[in-house]
Chain A
Amino acid sequence: DAKTTQPPSMDCAEGRAANLPCNHSTISGNEYVYWYRQIHSQGPQYIIHGLKNNETNEMASLIITEDRKSSTLILPHATLRDTAVYYCIVRAPTLKNTGNQFYFGTGTSLTVIP
C-alpha cells in the first residue's frame, strides 16, 4: 500500500473550518483514501473514504486532487470535540488473505482552540 505523509500537528479555531492535508504521491489506481480519527485513549473512528471523486458525509468532506497524489479532509465547523489525531490511510481493498490491512501511521494531531 502507498505511504502517506501528514503534518504532525495543526491548530484550528473553534467554529472555523479545519483543513487537514495528506500527501500520497505513490498511490496506485485502485487504492482508496481513508480517513480515521482517534480521540485520546479511545479506539479510532471511521470518518470518510474515496477513490477519485470528492466525497461528503455528515462528519466531513474529502477533496482528492485530480492526479490523486494528495487529499484534504475538511471539518467545516470545528468544535472542541474534534480535537483528535487524524489518520490518512491509502489502501487497495482486496479479497486476498493478506494485504487487507489498514496501515495507521502517526497521523496529524489536531487541536481545536476555543
Chain B
Amino acid sequence: DGGITQSPKYLFRKEGQNVTLSCEQNLNHDAMYWYRQDPGQGLRLIYYSQIVNDFQKGDIAEGYSVSREKKESFPLTVTSAQKNPTAFYLCASGSGLFVNEQFFGPGTRLTVL
C-alpha cells in the first residue's frame, strides 16, 4: 500500500540528546514537509523540501536539521539546541507542480525528559 510512514509512534529522550525522526514515503512525491504540533495548537512548519538535495526552512527551523538524500526519505533531527522539543511531529508529502494536497503520516510523539 502506498503511504507515509513515521517511526516510532512514541519516542522518549533525555534532555541534551539529539534525536532523529524517520519519515518515509512510497508515493513518488517530490515535496516533503515537517510540522510540529503542540497541545491545542495548529501545525507549524519546520522544514520542507521540494526536490532531492534541496530543502528550505519553515517558520520554526531553529534547533532542527533535515536532509533529503533520497526522494523517499526526509529525516528530521531534533538537536539539543531546540529549547522545547516535546511535541507531536508530523511529516507530509505532496506531488505535482503546486502541491494541492498534502498526505500526512501518523506522527511521532516526542517526549524529552
Contacts and interface: CB of A to CB of B under 8 A. Distances in A.
Main secondary structure of the interface of A (DSSP, over half): loop
Interface residues of A, number: 24
B56 A106 contact: no
B49 to A, nearest CB: 10
A63 to B, nearest CB: 19
- Size bracket, chain B contacts: 20 to 34
Nearest to B56: A97
Contact of B58 (A32, A45, A101): A101
A105 interface: yes
B42 interface: yes
Contacts of B48: 100-101
B42 A107 contact: yes
Interface string B73-113: 00000000000000010101000011111111111010000
B52 interface: no
B102 A46 contact: yes
Interface of A: 32, 34, 36, 41-46, 49, 87, 93-95, 97-98, 100-107
